[in-house]
Chain A
Amino acid sequence: MTALLALDDVTKTFGYGDAMIHAARGVSFELKAGRALAVVGESGSGKTTCARLVMRDYAPDGGKLVFRGKPMGDRTDLVAYRRAVQMIFQDPFASLNPAHNIRHHLRRPLRLHRPELKGAAIDAEVLELLRLVQLDPERLVDRHPFELSGGQRQRINIARALAVRPEVLVADEPTSMLDVSVRLGVLNLLNAMKQEMRLGLLYITHDIATARYVAEDIAVMYAGQILEWGATASVIDRPAHPYTRLLLSAVPDPQIRFADPAGRLDPDAAAAVRQAAAVPTREVREVGPNHFVRALPG
């Protein structure tokens, strides 16, 4: 299966001199139709930088972004690209315009990117989009964002992204601001859309359990590098990099009580793992079918 979109050895830095931050160091990954890639990591690991590079909010300092086999360099094809690659934002309370109703939010992308739709066809499509994200069209279409719950708003965000029939969806922590009981519903919706519309989904999160729930492939990032990547089940069940193991050991697990010394996380050992993981290395080892790890230096 060929990749829909790929980052190929992409580097991105911020600042300069001593204060230089390497947000992406030789980052490579592929998004494929009908599959999800989860990029997981802690704050500052560079995962959101990956999302922004894919969204072409930033141009890479080195390496390239490839879409449908074509390197994306200049800004000429940006409008077509923005139609094909859509984003779901983290904060459902900040990503809708409070002054406009839902109909307005969904009409805009249709008018901009689907010129074949005219008049009543636009309104029909707005209602269809609401049905697609499992909201009651008649009840919600004339409401304003403040009248909707967080979960409903996030569904509107998804409907807005899907309005232009994208090929790639970038979701940066789409459920972290939602109540726990509605999170799975939104993830299930993303999953269903991914399969039905053959979307390539880039799912950015710090929550590894939801990454397992949504994504076929996973990439673990730290200090701007992808340290381990491959089939989600393989990486989570048989982690090869010490940093991946550290991250997994800290995921809340009701089976492990703090009182139990065997489950104790040693802060000094954690600091040592972090320090070693921050050293850049280009050496890659294959540890199994579709499972790769960056070798530790030395």
Chain B
Amino acid sequence: MTRPLLSVRNLTIDYVGLASDFRAVDDVSFDIAPGEVFGLAGESGCGKSTIAFAISRLHRPPALIRRESRILLDGRDVLDLPAEALRQFRWREVAMVFQSAMNSLNPVLRVEDQFHDVLKTHGERDRSRRRERIAEVLRLVDIDPDRMRDYPHQFSGGMRQRIVIAICMALNPKLVIMDEPTTALDVVVQREILQRIDELRRRFGFSVLFITHDLGLMTQFCDRIGIMLAGRLVEVDNAATIHDAPKHDYTRQLWAAFPSLHAEHGA
């Protein structure tokens, strides 16, 4: 593999409690190559979202990232970034689409203003140039730029989700983290959105960290997949291998939890 874009090494995160700590992430290491889509799969509570939050440096106490942990992006340790560098790093280097992101737009701001916010913070002072960029990224996700003056409630859930993805694209990040980005959407809309992200990453070369519990969907989208169980990464392999020849028992159990569309019913 070429030099990885993201390199997570011995990541250990505890949620500190009064009586005892809860180890949410336990000595996890993995790499993501430039332009690669890497998936983290597992059930609720397995630590996959906790990892995503650590990479975007969004953790606050009681979450505690243990000292031996390293998160290197382009060789720079994300966990050591001082405040100003961190501000630059977010959105420009790493952008994040949250779970049910369609509800993460501010309902009282026009869509356009939510873009201006991001672009202005990151140094584009000229309003008309910002406008041009907004139109450009909205077109990338098939939203008519004429609608940038509309409010979030005037769009469907799938469109709002695409708007959030457009905001992520606005600064050409190197890594986009997507935490269950389409869980609340219908299958056709889900497919349309992920297909589009797949096209965009091939065109612009960004990497994706894709988090979901849906192994089937993950296999369709990802190049490589990591399976998480109780804070540990128990298996990492190519998507095809995870599907065709999983090595860990838990991966096999996870597959068995999804009924097949083309198998006889259980009755």
Partner-B contacts on A (CB < 8 A):
36, 42-43, 179-181, 183-184, 187-188, 191, 194-195, 206, 208-210, 212-216, 232-233, 236-237, 246-248, 250-254, 256-259, 264-265, 267, 270
User: From B250, which residue of chain A is reached at the shortest CB distance?
Assistant: A181
Interface centre among B194, B195, B243, B256 (most CB of A within 10 A): B195
- Distance from A199 Cβ to chain B, minimum over Cβ atoms (Å): 12
A247-B188, A267-B192 known; A181 vs B257 contact (CB < 8 Å): yes
**Which residue from A36, A179, A212, A257 sits with its C-beta under 8 Å from B44?**
A179
**Which residue from A212, A215, A248, A257 sits with its C-beta under 8 Å from B263?**
A212
Q: Judging by beta carbons under 8 Å apart, are A270 and B259 in contact?
A: no
Partner-A contacts on B (CB < 8 A):
43-44, 142, 157, 186-192, 194-195, 198, 213-217, 219-221, 239, 243, 253-254, 256-267
**Which residue from B43, B187, B239, B265 sits with its C-beta under 8 Å from A251?**
B187
Q: Judging by beta carbons under 8 Å apart, are A212 and B265 in contact?
A: yes
User: From A45, which residue of chain B is reached at the shortest CB distance?
Assistant: B186
Q: Judging by beta carbons under 8 Å apart, are B187 and A184 in contact?
A: no
- Distance from B1 Cβ to chain A, minimum over Cβ atoms (Å): 18
- Distance from B184 Cβ to chain A, minimum over Cβ atoms (Å): 9
13 A-B contacts, Cβ less than 8 Å apart?
A: A179-B43, A180-B43, A180-B213, A183-B257, A208-B261, A212-B263, A214-B265, A237-B262, A248-B261, A250-B188, A254-B216, A254-B219, A258-B195
A188-B266, A233-B264, A258-B198 known; A270 vs B213 contact (CB < 8 Å): no
Q: Judging by beta carbons under 8 Å apart, are A210 and B259 in contact?
A: yes
Q: Judging by beta carbons under 8 Å apart, are A250 and B191 in contact?
A: yes
A184-B257, A264-B195 known; A258 vs B267 contact (CB < 8 Å): no
Q: Judging by beta carbons under 8 Å apart, are A254 and B266 in contact?
A: no
A212-B265, A213-B266, A214-B266 known; A250 vs B187 contact (CB < 8 Å): yes
- Distance from A12 Cβ to chain B, minimum over Cβ atoms (Å): 21
**How many angstroms between the C-alpha atoms of A8 and B257 in the bound complex?**
36
Within 8 Å CB of B194, what residues of A?
A: 258
User: From B142, which residue of chain A is reached at the shortest CB distance?
Assistant: A267
**How many angstroms between the C-alpha atoms of A251 and B217 in the bound complex?**
8
Q: Judging by beta carbons under 8 Å apart, are B259 and A184 in contact?
A: yes
Within 8 Å CB of B261, what residues of A?
A: 208-209, 212, 236, 248, 251, 253
A212-B261, A251-B187 known; A179 vs B266 contact (CB < 8 Å): no
A247-B187, A250-B191 known; A180 vs B262 contact (CB < 8 Å): no
Within 8 Å CB of B260, what residues of A?
A: 209, 212
**Which residue from B254, B266, B267 sits with its C-beta under 8 Å from A181?**
B254
A180-B254, A233-B264, A250-B187 known; A212 vs B259 contact (CB < 8 Å): yes
- Distance from A35 Cβ to chain B, minimum over Cβ atoms (Å): 9
**How many angstroms between the C-alpha atoms of A208 and B217 in the bound complex?**
14
- Distance from A252 Cβ to chain B, minimum over Cβ atoms (Å): 4
Interface centre among B142, B259, B262 (most CB of A within 10 A): B259
Q: Judging by beta carbons under 8 Å apart, are A42 and B259 in contact?
A: no
**Which residue from A206, A215, A233 sits with its C-beta under 8 Å from B186?**
A206
- Distance from B253 Cβ to chain A, minimum over Cβ atoms (Å): 7
Within 8 Å CB of B215, what residues of A?
A: 254
Q: Which 10 pairs, one residue from A and one from B, show the smallest C-beta to C-beta distance? A: A254-B219, A252-B217, A252-B216, A213-B259, A42-B186, A250-B187, A250-B191, A250-B188, A258-B198, A180-B257
Within 8 Å CB of A214, what residues of B?
A: 265-267
User: From A190, which residue of chain B is reached at the shortest CB distance?
Assistant: B266
**How many angstroms between the C-alpha atoms of A265 and B198 in the bound complex?**
13
- Distance from B63 Cβ to chain A, minimum over Cβ atoms (Å): 22
User: From B199, which residue of chain A is reached at the shortest CB distance?
Assistant: A258
**How many angstroms between the C-alpha atoms of A254 and B44 in the bound complex?**
21
A208-B261, A256-B220, A264-B195 known; A216 vs B267 contact (CB < 8 Å): yes
User: From A184, which residue of chain B is reached at the shortest CB distance?
Assistant: B257
Within 8 Å CB of A179, what residues of B?
A: 43-44, 213
- Distance from B210 Cβ to chain A, minimum over Cβ atoms (Å): 11
Within 8 Å CB of B213, what residues of A?
A: 179-180
Within 8 Å CB of A253, what residues of B?
A: 216, 220, 261
Within 8 Å CB of A251, what residues of B?
A: 187, 261
Interface centre among A184, A194, A195, A213 (most CB of B within 10 A): A213
Within 8 Å CB of A236, what residues of B?
A: 261-262
Q: Judging by beta carbons under 8 Å apart, are A191 and B220 in contact?
A: no
User: From B187, which residue of chain A is reached at the shortest CB distance?
Assistant: A250
**How many angstroms between the C-alpha atoms of A208 and B260 in the bound complex?**
9
A184-B259, A265-B188 known; A215 vs B195 contact (CB < 8 Å): no
Within 8 Å CB of B142, what residues of A?
A: 267
Within 8 Å CB of B44, what residues of A?
A: 179
**How many angstroms between the C-alpha atoms of A155 and B223 in the bound complex?**
38
User: From B42, which residue of chain A is reached at the shortest CB distance?
Assistant: A180
Q: Judging by beta carbons under 8 Å apart, are A43 and B220 in contact?
A: no
**How many angstroms between the C-alpha atoms of A210 and B187 in the bound complex?**
14
Within 8 Å CB of A257, what residues of B?
A: 219-220, 239
- Distance from A227 Cβ to chain B, minimum over Cβ atoms (Å): 14
**Which residue from A210, A232, A270 sits with its C-beta under 8 Å from B188?**
A270
